[in-house]
């Protein structure tokens, strides 16, 4: 009798485990999506906080950009003047001191341009981190929340994959960019506050 009840319990447990295993194999397939993070900067359809921060950063950098453009314009003007001086007919004398002076001024302006360009690049890198860093972190957290809420097990950054040349085939049905942007723009403006311009 003990053997019979032990055999019966074993069969019942085997049936339960078999049913449990078959239930696991019929689970829904894992959802995979991709987001084009390059679309976040689109002024019309992008992430509003991101585009606003980019605009603020652009406004903050504009005086430095204008200064670089002014220096480059002066360098180009001097180069054109030197070209005209060197293209004069041989019977018209050229003031070598004026040529040397313009060459020196052009070289000085070129060095100034290179120095200011390095300053500008360092400024942009620093301020981008300060202004866009908190927003990018918030976007990363929001992608995690969005994926969990919608049941995605993997979300790819298609912009980065495209830059790396790592895309062989892409199904547009897996594009969740617009859906995520709508989700993000509907969130309250909490942690994603940009640093104030200086």
Q: Considering its fold, how many domains does the chain have in total?
A: 1
In a domain, 174, yes or no: yes
* 154-171 pLDDT, tens digit each: 999 999 988 898 888 888
In a domain, 194, yes or no: no
* 2-44 pLDDT, tens digit each: 444 444 454 444 444 555 555 555 566 789 999 999 999 999 9
96-134 CB burial, b ≥16 within 10 A, e <16: eeeeeebeeebeebbeebeebeeeeeeebeebeeebbeb
Phi, psi for residue 53 in degrees, rounded to 5: -65, -40
* 36-54 pLDDT, tens digit each: 999 999 999 999 999 999 9
Does the model's pTM come out above 0.75? no
What residue spans of 87-169 are helical by DSSP H?
96-150, 158-163
Domain that holds residue 94: 2-186
Which pLDDT does position 10 carry in this prediction? 47
In a domain, 157, yes or no: yes
In sequence order, what DSSP letters do the residues of 5-55 get, joined into one string?
HHHHHHHHHHHHHHHHHHHHHTSPPPEEEEE-GGGGG-TTTS-HHHHHHHH
Mean pLDDT for the chain overall:
84
In a domain, 123, yes or no: yes
* 92-143 pLDDT, tens digit each: 777 788 888 889 999 999 999 999 999 999 999 999 999 999 999 999 999 9
In a domain, 160, yes or no: yes
Q: What is the DSSP letter of 153?
A: E
Q: Residue 82: pLDDT band by 50, 70, 90 thresholds?
A: confident
């Amino acid at each position: 009798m003990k053997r019979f009840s032990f055999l019966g319990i074993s069969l019942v447990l085997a049936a339960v485990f078999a049913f449990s295993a078959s239930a696991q194999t019929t689970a829904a397939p894992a959802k995979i999506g991709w987001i084009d993070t390059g679309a976040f900067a689109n002024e019309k359809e992008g992430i509003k906080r991101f585009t606003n921060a980019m605009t603020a950063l652009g406004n903050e950098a504009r005086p430095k950009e204008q200064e670089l453009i002014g220096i480059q314009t002066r360098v180009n003007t001097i180069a054109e003047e030197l070209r005209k001086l060197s293209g004069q007919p041989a019977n018209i004398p050229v003031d070598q001191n004026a040529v040397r002076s313009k060459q020196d001024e052009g070289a000085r302006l070129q060095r100034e341009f290179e120095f200011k360009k390095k300053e500008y690049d360092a400024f942009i890198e620093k301020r981008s981190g300060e202004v866009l860093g908190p927003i990018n972190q918030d976007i990363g957290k929001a992608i995690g929340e969005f994926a969990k809420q919608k049941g995605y097990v993997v979300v790819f950054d298609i912009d980065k994959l495209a830059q790396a040349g790592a895309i062989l085939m892409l199904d547009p049905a897996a594009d969740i960019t617009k859906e995520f942007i709508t989700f993000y723009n509907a969130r309250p403006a909490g942690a994603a506050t940009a640093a104030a311009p200086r």
